[in-house]
């Protein structure tokens, strides 16, 4: 799931929240956020965990991430310090709208 902020094309700085079903992420060594754009291009970005919230993954959109209107799919891929840990993450879709002036 994601936070309820609206995505707009050509905007950046929006925090994206990816829920992990309350699994503790203290043992995660790296977080990759895959973003599939409406045109099929896939971006790989670095996600993070906030210190007071060790069960959710976050990403802050950067300039150029949300550059066309349409459906964007976000998925977190986690690397664990202990390789035997696995966490299925469910991708989710957010719709980016053109800004109205």
Domain limits, the chain: 7-97
82, pLDDT greater than 50? yes
If residue 60 lies in a helix (H) or strand (E), which one and from where to where?
strand 53-60
Distance CA 90, CA 76 (A): 8
Q: Residue 2 — very low, low, confident or very high, per pLDDT cuts 50/70/90?
A: very low
Cβ atoms of 32 and 44 within 8 Å: the answer is yes
Give the pLDDT score at 3.
42
Give the pLDDT score at 29.
86
Mean pLDDT of 15-31: 81
Distance CA 68, CA 35 (A): 13
User: Under 8 Å CB-to-CB from 78, ≥6 apart: which residues?
Assistant: 25, 28, 30, 31, 32, 57, 87, 89
The architecture that CATH gives domain 7-97 is Sandwich (2.60)
86, pLDDT greater than 60? no
Write phi, then psi, for 77 (nearest 5 degrees). -115, 125
Cβ atoms of 43 and 68 within 8 Å: the answer is no
- At 29-81, the pLDDT tens digits run 889 999 999 999 999 999 998 877 777 889 999 999 999 999 898 988 888 88
């Amino acid at each position: 799931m994601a936070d309820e902020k609206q995505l707009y094309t050509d905007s950046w700085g929006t925090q994206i929240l990816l829920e992990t079903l309350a699994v503790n992420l203290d043992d995660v060594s790296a977080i990759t956020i895959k973003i599939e754009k409406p045109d099929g291009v896939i971006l790989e970005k670095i996600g993070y965990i906030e210190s007071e919230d060790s069960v959710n993954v976050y990403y802050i959109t950067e300039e150029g991430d949300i550059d066309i209107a349409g459906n964007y799919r976000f998925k977190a891929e986690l690397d664990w310090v202990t390789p035997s840990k696995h966490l299925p993450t469910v991708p989710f879709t957010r719709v980016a709208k053109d800004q109205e002036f």
